[in-house]
Structures are given as structure tokens and as C-alpha cells.
Chains A and B, each alone.
Chain A
Amino acid sequence: MMERFYNPVLVKELKLRFRSFKSFSGLMFYLAVLCIFIAGFLLLTTEFTGRGFFRPETSFMMFAVLTILQMALVLFITPSLTAGAISSEREKQTLNILLTTTQSSTQIVIGKLLSSVAFLVLMLVAGLPLYSLVFLFGGVSPSQLISIFLFYLVTVVAIGSIGVMFSTITKRTIVAMIATYGSIIFLGGITAFFFFLTMAFHQMGNAIGTGASFMTYFWASINPGALMLTLISPEMGDALAELSGVELPVWITYLIAYVFIIVLCLTIAIKKLRANMKSNR
């Protein structure tokens, strides 16, 4: 039974990843950023006296900023872990040998993706003790935390799939890396810009009566930052529903959009892995 689910690429990747110093330094960097931020936040709110007090609202505030910060870190780190998945094998001249084994393209691509996702999950889990500091002060429900972590996972898998796809279709890691960061800038930045743009149009258009409201909702719902805000404070979601007239919760649209990205990118990656072969078996 174990052999059935045994993915050689996944096992090999995990082995290599945990043997490299880079992985541990990356993890350290990640936790250091979280630590510095939390310490700074605590010091600021207690006004550096050490005797100040910490209200649940402040704790909630910390939770909100921490969530966004963690999302930003995840978006920043994922491409560096996945954009080299296939192209680095190509650069190291190990890909051809791998492709002559009887492993299917799907197995190879999924193995590559899962190994990166596993490491990111480790990062998120390693950050949990720091994160749970907010529980010490209250103001946040565990279910909220769980849903936020689930959406981190969805986002990580989606960005990872984009990285693996670019890594498969471009010849070089650096190009794949740039393309993946480009996609993140689109998902995190350009969508926010379009959101504000369509909102402004909508407000101007109220007089003229244009129907830009759906687009406003759409741009907001595929933005990881906006999703996190609506998860942190549901009022944000209500405000968006009121503004755009679309009642569907943002997380549903986000989930659909990102699952679509995952499926699309992985399909392309699997199809293009053996690009020089007509049939992909």
C-alpha cells in the first residue's frame, strides 16, 4: 500500500532539501522576520515601558497585520522554491535521465510540487508558536486561524503550480523565477490596482450608470491580500458585497479561481514536461 503512493521524486527532493543549509537558513530568516515584527509590535504598543497593557483589540490588530505579513512572506518565498523545480534539473543535466525512467510526467510534476509545498507547510507550522502569541491576549477565534491557514495552503499550492509550470516551459530557472514573481505581482498588485480603478470608475459611473461593479468584486476576490482581510474581519466582505452588489463570499470565488489556476498550470506542466515527444506518456 505504501509503495502505491511512493513518489520517488518527492522522497528524493525532500532528502536533498533537508540536507541543504539553504533550507535551514531560509527557515531561520522567515522566523526571524516574524519575531522581529512581533517584538517590535509589542514594544510599540506598550510604548517601550514594559509596563504597558495590551487590549484584545490591539491583539486583533497584531493578528491582522501578522496574517498579511505572513501571506506576503509566503508569496515571496514560494517562487524561489518552485520555479527551479524542472529547469534546475534541466540545467544540471539530470532531467533527460529522469525522463527515460518509467515515471509518468504527472508523477514527476506532482512530486516536485509536493516537495516544495511540504517545505512551505513546515515554514507555516514553524511560525505557529509565534502566531499563537495572539491567543495569549485574545480577540481571535481558532476557527478563523484554521481558515486562514487553509487559504495559505491553497495559495501556496497555486503559486507553486505557477512556478512549476514556468519551470517546465522555460529553459532556464532565472526566467521561470522572473515569470513566477511577475504572476505574483499580477495577483497581489495589479489586481489591487484594477480593483481601485474599477471602484473609481464605478463611483464616477454611478451618475452614468455603468455596470463595473462585478469587475470590482472580481479583482478583489482573486487578490490574496483582500481575501485575508475578509477572513480577518468579515465586515470587509460585507462592505465589498454592498459596494459591488455581488453576494457570493470572496473566499468561494478565490477558491474556485485558485483551484482553476492549479489545475491549469499543472496540466500545462505535465503536457510540456516531455515537450520533445508528441505523445505524453
Chain B
Amino acid sequence: MIEIRDLTKRYGSFTALDHLNLSLEEGVVFGFVGANGAGKSTTFSILATLLSPTSGDALINGKSVVKEPKEVRKQIGYMPDFFGVYDQLKVDEYLDFYGASYGIQLAERQVLIPQLLELVNLTSKRYEYVDLLSRGMKQRLCLARALIHDPKVLILDEPASGLDPRARVEMRDILRNLKSMGKTILISSHILPELAEMCDEIGVIDNGKLIAHGNVAAIQAQLQGEKRIVLKVTDQLDAVRAFLEEDPHISSIDVIENRLELAFNYRGTDAEQVALLKKAMLTDLPIYALSEEEKDLEDVFMAITKGADNQ
């Protein structure tokens, strides 16, 4: 459905995108992770036919964004990270205007508008002025607008930015709904952990390069390498610490005295971890629980962005 080939964008000497390659199947929900300025919005702008790449191309449903931008526009619904609305325009007029902009006939628009408002839970706001809506409602309205011409692909740049938790949950529910409708969805978001469960694939971009691409679990494994394990003890923190320090796979031991916990990084394989556990059980150390600290995408994101800052 989406084929990005050697996409490069330079602004003078600054390279925003560096030979980006990406291929996505139809119906996939793709999450784009990366620090601010990593090239997410640039990629999305190129896919939305707002920006020409310096070199390379991207095909959406077989149509080139460089050679056939008008055809591409029929295939995509784009929601920018920042967008405004017209004052003095009512919700249904707003949708009607964009519907007409896509060449949809009046009779068809009149059928579509209530359906779309239903989809994004804005039916009750149909005759209200757009600029009086809350941020979350505007965001949902913008999503409805992006859907008006029934595009196959949705390109959503930070669709949940600036939303309160409730609005985020609503947005997520709508996106889940769209996924079930078989849309191919590209999302960039800094609240990706929340969206992780609905993303089939994740791409990590850093300095204009795609540094990882795959399903969520694979990316986590690829990017973190070592796990963080937490031990709970009833007593003898120092003895447990001394025991742990003997293992060559263990590093960065933290002792949390008030909770009687020890956390450490573990580099070994699963088999080596079994051996470690057996060994621990044979000692008299008062260990009563062991757990692996769940690293979610947020941690991955933090790790990547930290890496980017250090460069």
C-alpha cells in the first residue's frame, strides 16, 4: 500500500531525511516514533503531497507523490500536527466545505456528514461554530474531515497531542474503529505507549534515518538488549547485593532500601537467568519475589531520544 524508496529531503546543508526506505501492507497501523526534528513530520508532509523530496519517491497505492500528487490526494486523509479552523463556520459547513473540495456531490455530502459526525462522536455539535469546540473535539472533527473522501490511507501527525486523558482515550477508540474498517493508518505520536496496543508495526526514526522497523516486541528487543529485573527481599539487602555482584551478566544494581528492593540490569540469556535463579534459591537469602520490569515504548522512546541528544 505504501512504498517509500530512498526518500531524501535536504534543506541547504541540513538533511532532514536520509534515504528512508519503508514498505507497508494494506490495513497496517504503523506508528512512527522519534524525537522532535527526527524527520517524522517531514516524511508525513511528503506523503501528504505538501513537500517535494530532494530525491527518492513514495508510492501510495501505486501512485507516486512526486509524479501524481493529485491522484495521491484522493488516496490519503491527512491530519497535520498543528492545524486551525475557520471562525464563523459551523461543524456541518466545515465538513461540507472539505467534502466539496474533494469533489463530492452535494447529495452525497448530506448523507456523509451525519455518518462522519456519528463516527467521531460529534453529532450533538453539528450546528455549533467550529472555533467554539474544545481542542479534543476539533481534533476529532479534523479526523472526520480527513475521512470525508473515504481515503484508503490515513496520515495522522500527532493526533493526540495536547489532549487530556479522556480525549486521548476517545481518540484511541476512534482509531481502533478505523483500523477495523481496514484503513492503513500512519501515526506519529509522543504518547505512542498508549497507542502501542493498536499499532501493528513501529518505525523508529532518528536524524532522518529509519533505525528500526518491525512489530512492537521486536523493536523493544532490538533497542534495549538488556532487561531490568527487580528483586524483593525481606531483609539482608547488602548480602543480596554481594550475591548479585558475583554474576558477570549483572550491572547497575540499585538498592531501594525503603521498599526492600534491588533492581539491576541483566544481559544474560534466558537459560543463564534460570541458572541464576536456581543458585539464588540454594542460598539462604530471603528473596521472596523476582520480576522483570516492564519496559514500554515510552522507555524505548526515552532511550532513543536520549541517544539523539548525546550526539
Contacts and interface: CB of A to CB of B under 8 A. Distances in A.
Interface of A: 3, 6, 8-9, 11-12, 15-16, 19-20, 92-94, 96-104, 274, 276-279, 281
B89 A100 contact: no
Contacts of A94: 83-86
> B interface, how many residues as a size bin?
35 or more
Contacts of A100: 48-50, 73, 76, 78
Contacts, number: 86
20 contacts: A11-B97, A12-B86, A12-B89, A92-B86, A93-B83, A93-B84, A94-B83, A96-B80, A97-B78, A99-B50, A100-B49, A100-B50, A100-B76, A100-B78, A101-B102, A277-B51, A278-B52, A278-B66, A279-B67, A279-B69
Contacts of B258: none
A19 B101 contact: no
A104 B68 CA distance: 13
Contacts of A104: 70
Contacts of B105: 3
Contacts of A103: 101
For B66, B73, B97, B105, the residue with the greatest tally of chain A CB atoms inside 10 Å of its CB is B97
Contacts of A276: 45, 50-52
Interface string B55-70: 0000000000011111
A25 to B, nearest CB: 15
B103 interface: yes
* 5 A-B pairs with the lowest CB-CB distances in the bound complex, closest first: A8-B100, A101-B101, A93-B84, A92-B84, A278-B52
B306 interface: no
B220 to A, nearest CB: 33
A226 B71 CA distance: 49
A277 B64 CA distance: 13
Contacts of A102: 70, 73-74, 101-103, 149
A101 B73 contact: yes
B145 interface: yes
A24 to B, nearest CB: 13
B236 interface: no
B82 A93 contact: yes
